[in-house]
């Protein structure tokens, strides 16, 4: 066949592979009214077309479901029980709903747009029942038996929880509660080699919750203005949370893991609020490296329930005060003696981090307390070295920032480092229950508080003058 014949032939309308689905062209259901029912129908179609996987190389390859840019309401929860399913869109569509909901209606009338966009799922699942978190999920992955469900991928679309609800603090505050019982992606059973990339998740009480993951990748997502952003639950290993923009609500976790080993949390830009930027419970031999964390409260990084042998290095931690008026009434309830970083566990490494706190002394709790930067509350054998801790007292008034100036003010607050005076802090506190720790060059003699007979210490040298 000549190449011109080939070219002619190719200009015929393409026969799209039967393993490629587009929610807007699939003949069952209406994706604009309920994309959940459409995707469930597609999954049933995929499974009905799969022959038995056999020993002679014959697989069940799965499929890709495409969600073009558009608004798609999801009433029926999507249930995924098939491996190798990729659901993808063409736009993460993030915009700040928090700023919008705290903007007066008369200003909104002039706004270009009010909602997130891209390939956008409007989560409208029924109210949460006694089934708990899973019932409120837009996407629910679950499969029993062997092998673990593998290689499900979510990419490049938006899951929008739309509204938060009144939790008792009053209707005016409903959109600031970070509560609505909705979850973006809920993985309830053991899984292998999943990927969640390029997504935009917003105004969900829980963004992504994954149980029992092996080799999970959560990369390059925008998961913010969610009650909790990323949660690894159950027990798992060898996963990566990298290059995300993340920021949870004042009562939730930006990044949470429990009973995992071998996680790599790398190069994320985690912004406020977030009761914690990162919270590990019983996590071991994992890494938190090269991240930038910004928080408005103590307890930015918490290692709880005997976390062991984790590495925290090359991170930038910044804690300052909430500059935005609508949110200044909220915090995570912790005081400044809790520790900006708090470690319960043994043999962890905290090396080469920059840790910064800037706060007007009148906001310190308890009053006149000396804030604790790294608080080792239990365990032994932790190695804390070469951390540079910078604490300054704000002298300017930062509260009552009008909504419209929010962005500029936040940036301005970051930039206004002149006229700051040093703030006295305890850079490292090793509590009496903890021993055989090593603290090097992370504060001088006065700044590090611990039993120097039972722990090893070398203070950061100080200038003679």
- Site residues for its own copies, 139-198, by CB under 8 A, read 143, 145-151, 153, 162, 190, 192-193, 195, 197
Give the integer Cα–Cα distance in Å for 41 and 267: 38
Beta bridge partners of 435: 380
Applying CB under 8 A, among 174, 365, 388, 431 the residue interacting with its own copies is 388
Q: Tell me which stretch binds its own copies (CB under 8 A): 5-13, 177-185, 367-375, 394-402.
A: 5-13
* In the complex, minimum distance from the CB of residue 167 to its own copies, in angstroms, rounded to a whole number: 21
Applying CB under 8 A, among 250, 271, 280, 324 the residue interacting with its own copies is 271
* In the complex, minimum distance from the CB of residue 163 to its own copies, in angstroms, rounded to a whole number: 9
Find out whether 118 and 95 touch, Cβ atoms under 8 Å: no
Site for its own copies in 308-347 (CB under 8 A): 308-311, 313-316, 318, 346-347
Q: How many CB atoms lie within 10 A of CB 132?
A: 10
Applying CB under 8 A, among 16, 30, 127, 329 the residue interacting with its own copies is 16
* In the complex, minimum distance from the CB of residue 109 to its own copies, in angstroms, rounded to a whole number: 10
Q: Tell me which stretch binds its own copies (CB under 8 A): 16-24, 134-142, 360-368, 394-402.
A: 16-24
* In the complex, minimum distance from the CB of residue 243 to its own copies, in angstroms, rounded to a whole number: 6
Applying CB under 8 A, among 34, 90, 321, 363 the residue interacting with its own copies is 90
Beta bridge partners of 242: 219, 266
Give the integer Cα–Cα distance in Å for 444 and 426: 10
Find out whether 207 and 225 touch, Cβ atoms under 8 Å: no
DSSP per position, 247-261: EE-TTSEEEEEESEE
Q: What angle do CA 24, 25, 29 make, to 5 degrees?
A: 70
> Residue with structure tokens 């027990």?
235
- Residue 70 interacts with its own copies (CB under 8 A)? yes
Site string for its own copies, 278-297 (x = CB under 8 A): ----x-xxxx-xxxx-x---
Site for its own copies in 25-54 (CB under 8 A): 25-28, 41, 44-45, 48-49, 53-54
DSSP state of 75: -
Residue 290 or 325: the one with the smaller Cβ distance to its own copies is 290
188: number of CA atoms within 13 Å, CB side?
A: 20
Site for its own copies in 99-138 (CB under 8 A): 99-100, 103, 107-108, 110-120, 122
Q: What is the largest CA-CA distance in the chain?
A: 86
Residue 1 or 368: the one with the smaller Cβ distance to its own copies is 1
Find out whether 206 and 232 touch, Cβ atoms under 8 Å: no
For strand 119-123 and strand 70-74, is the pairing parallel, antiparallel, or unpaired?
parallel
């Amino acid at each position: 066949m000549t190449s011109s014949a080939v070219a002619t032939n190719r200009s015929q309308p393409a026969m799209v592979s039967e393993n490629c689905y587009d929610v807007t062209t699939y003949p069952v259901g209406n994706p604009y009214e309920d994309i959940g029912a459409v995707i469930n129908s597609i999954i049933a179609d995929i499974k009905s077309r799969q022959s038995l996987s056999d020993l002679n190389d014959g697989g069940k390859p799965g499929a890709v479901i495409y969600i073009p840019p558009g608004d798609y309401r999801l009433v029926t929860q999507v249930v995924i029980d098939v491996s190798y399913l990729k659901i993808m869109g063409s736009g993460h569509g993030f915009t700040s709903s928090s700023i919008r909901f705290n903007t007066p209606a008369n200003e909104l009338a002039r706004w270009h747009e009010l909602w997130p966009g891209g390939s956008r799922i409007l989560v409208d699942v029924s109210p949460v029942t006694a089934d708990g978190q899973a019932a409120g999920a837009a996407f629910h992955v679950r499969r029993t038996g062997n092998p673990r469900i593998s290689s499900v991928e979510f990419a490049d679309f938006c899951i929008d929880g739309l509204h938060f609800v009144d939790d008792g603090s009053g209707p005016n505050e409903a959109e600031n509660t970070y509560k609505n019982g909705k979850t973006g992606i809920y993985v309830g059973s053991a899984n292998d080699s999943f990927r969640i990339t390029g997504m935009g998740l917003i105004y969900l009480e829980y963004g992504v919750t994954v149980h029992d993951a092996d080799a999970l990748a959560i990369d390059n997502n925008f998961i913010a203005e969610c009650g909790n952003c990323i949660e690894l639950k159950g027990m798992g290993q060898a996963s990566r949370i990298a290059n995300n923009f993340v920021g949870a609500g004042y009562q939730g976790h930006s990044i949470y893991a429990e009973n995992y080993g071998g996680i790599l949390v790398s190069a994320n830009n985690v912004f406020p609020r977030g009761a914690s930027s990162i919270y590990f419970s019983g996590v071991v031999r994992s890494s938190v490296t090269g991240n930038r964390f910004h928080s408005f409260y103590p307890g930015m990084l918490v290692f709880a329930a005997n976390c062991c042998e984790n590495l925290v290095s090359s991170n930038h931690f910044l804690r300052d005060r909430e500059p935005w008026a609508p949110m200044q009434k909220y915090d995570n309830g912790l005081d400044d003696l809790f520790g900006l970083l708090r470690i319960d566990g043994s043999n962890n490494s905290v090396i080469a981090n920059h840790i910064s706190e800037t706060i007007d002394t009148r906001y310190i709790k308890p009053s006149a307390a000396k804030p604790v930067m790294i608080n080792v509350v239990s365990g032994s054998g932790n190695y804390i070295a070469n951390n540079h801790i910078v604490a300054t007292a704000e002298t300017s008034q930062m509260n009552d920032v009008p909504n419209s100036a929010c962005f500029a003010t936040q940036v301005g607050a970051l930039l206004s480092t002149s006229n700051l005076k040093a703030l006295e802090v305890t850079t490292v506190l090793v509590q009496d229950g903890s021993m055989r720790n090593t603290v090097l060059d992370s504060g001088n003699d006065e700044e590090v508080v611990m039993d120097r007979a039972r722990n090893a210490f070398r203070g950061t040298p100080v200038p003679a003058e």
